[in-house]
Chain A
């Protein structure tokens, strides 16, 4: 098994160029803008303080529409993960197997992010493993947070 690694797509690249691109909405634009400058954020409700992801206009806890961006350290814990052996995006046919993980983000009150663990053999990943963000620049305005195992020296 090989893992998506920086060597596959050049320095700092893990996934191919031919990936889908997001269509930003009023709520998600700020998240993509923060990501483009390599800042990992989640929404925090200004009424009850609870966090949420993906971005949306109202707090699922108290329904308040008042919210702010909470900037995170970029570290977290693997809540669960899968090793994808059959990709449904043709461009990823040569990237399998790769790890899709749900990461519980530090300092985010339980908010989780579906992302990847890269630069590791898939068999090294485990539930509970500590991870740190690594940013992949997919284009001039699009960067995606993926994660490395903390044991690999990433994430601060």
Chain B
């Protein structure tokens, strides 16, 4: 990423099985993804001296290290919500370029879907609210989906964005998912299906919301020099940046139509020495349809307010304005609590030409952008087949 001698690359990627893993623990999902990513690179756990992961408990990474039998000298569990894994790979790139580690394993694992089933009947579901800023939502009955709905309504008010335009995002993701045998939802849907599905938090319908899955993913970050001897052509980390505008309460978000991507995107592109026009394929966090509309604007793929028109008419399909979430995304393929790692895996597969039916021809530059919290954090990772 820097101009120094050592250059960070992604040498291996993998997903675990998904979307339903009732027979696996959360750690076992990490392990499956880690084993596969290392095998993809032509490495083993014995080659790993750094570990980066994030979960929902403090000292999370040390637990994963113990499970994997690792004693890493570089450890990172930065948690920015769904964008954590773009941040962790950014940090890992700095670490290998600085010589703080040679080979960093970045993993994620979750059994959110199966755990929901296990919790049924306990009468729970209202617990778990943090005593901090989240209480300013809970007391008024606000919900996670509600926060994104508040942003969607404001975007509609300011720019005339329509429910049908939001629905177009879900329709394209489902088209991509139909080509992914692992995807949680694969049956084709129409705009009419989305806007006539049950309202969860108006204006967001059930089909505007991501699926809830079990699953994990991993990647291996090392130097170009090390990767030269390995199994796969390396994918270069060209540039990265992250940003935050507020914690968990939208009262503190300056403008509900502008996400932290407006900061992280231009900075990451400048660090990579590219512009949005250079991007061949994008993997954009799609917790909800509105998340994608806001992100394409804030990353500069279109002007603020034009995201609705940008995503319409197959704008996000292969062959469209910006081929996006070519595995089917969180809306249809897999959303296991945090999805950031999946974005990176699919971006790397595109750059290697391994994306199958949704391969973007000759993809050379890919962007993975994670969004975390209540539109609270954004992290942009620019990956490329060669050093520009």
Q: Are B200 and A85 in contact (CB under 8 A)?
A: yes
Main secondary structure of the interface of B (DSSP, over half): mixed
Is B116 engaged at the interface, CB distance under 8 Å to the other chain? no
CA distance A127 to B202 in the complex (A): 13
Contacting A112 at CB < 8 Å: which of B139, B144, B200, B251? B251
Is A5 engaged at the interface, CB distance under 8 Å to the other chain? no
**Chain B contact residue count (CB 8 A cutoff):** 36
Is B5 engaged at the interface, CB distance under 8 Å to the other chain? no
Contacting A114 at CB < 8 Å: which of B123, B157, B200, B250? B250
Chain A nearest CB from B332 CB (Å) reads 20
Q: Are B202 and A83 in contact (CB under 8 A)?
A: yes
CA distance A36 to B281 in the complex (A): 53
Q: Are A81 and B140 in contact (CB under 8 A)?
A: no
Determine the chain A residues whose CB is within 8 A of the CB of B139 once the complex forms. Answer: 19-22, 144
CA distance A133 to B152 in the complex (A): 25
Give the segment of B42-50, B129-137, B176-184, B271-279 that binds chain A.
Answer: B129-137
Tell me the B247-271 residues at the A interface (CB within 8 Å). 249-252, 256
Determine the chain B residues whose CB is within 8 A of the CB of A84 once the complex forms. Answer: 141-143, 146, 201-202
Closest to A83 in B: B202
Is B126 engaged at the interface, CB distance under 8 Å to the other chain? yes
Chain B nearest CB from A59 CB (Å) reads 12
Q: Are B151 and A80 in contact (CB under 8 A)?
A: yes
Determine the chain B residues whose CB is within 8 A of the CB of A97 once the complex forms. Answer: 199, 202
Q: 1/0 contact trace for B55-99 toward A, CB 8 Å?
A: 000000000000000000000000000000000000000000000
Q: Are A146 and B154 in contact (CB under 8 A)?
A: no
Tell me the A77-109 residues at the B interface (CB within 8 Å). 79-92, 95, 97-98, 100, 102
Tell me the B233-252 residues at the A interface (CB within 8 Å). 249-252
Determine the chain B residues whose CB is within 8 A of the CB of A19 once the complex forms. Answer: 138-139, 141
Determine the chain A residues whose CB is within 8 A of the CB of B369 once the complex forms. Answer: none
CA distance A60 to B256 in the complex (A): 17
CA distance A98 to B149 in the complex (A): 13
Is A15 engaged at the interface, CB distance under 8 Å to the other chain? yes
Chain A nearest CB from B252 CB (Å) reads 7
Closest to A101 in B: B150
Chain A nearest CB from B132 CB (Å) reads 8
Residue picked from B141, B153, B199, B204, most chain A C-beta under 10 Å: B141
Chain B nearest CB from A124 CB (Å) reads 13
Is B198 engaged at the interface, CB distance under 8 Å to the other chain? yes
Residue picked from A60, A84, A90, most chain B C-beta under 10 Å: A84
Is A26 engaged at the interface, CB distance under 8 Å to the other chain? no
Chain A nearest CB from B204 CB (Å) reads 8
Q: Are A115 and B150 in contact (CB under 8 A)?
A: no
Q: Are B137 and A114 in contact (CB under 8 A)?
A: yes
CA distance A85 to B203 in the complex (A): 10
Q: Mind listing 15 A-B residue pairs with CB under 8 Å? A: A20-B126, A21-B139, A54-B136, A54-B252, A80-B150, A82-B149, A82-B203, A85-B201, A86-B145, A87-B141, A88-B125, A88-B126, A100-B140, A102-B251, A114-B137
- Name A residues whose Cβ lies closer than 8 Å to a Cβ of B: 15, 18-23, 52-54, 60, 79-92, 95, 97-98, 100, 102, 111-116, 122, 127-128, 144, 146
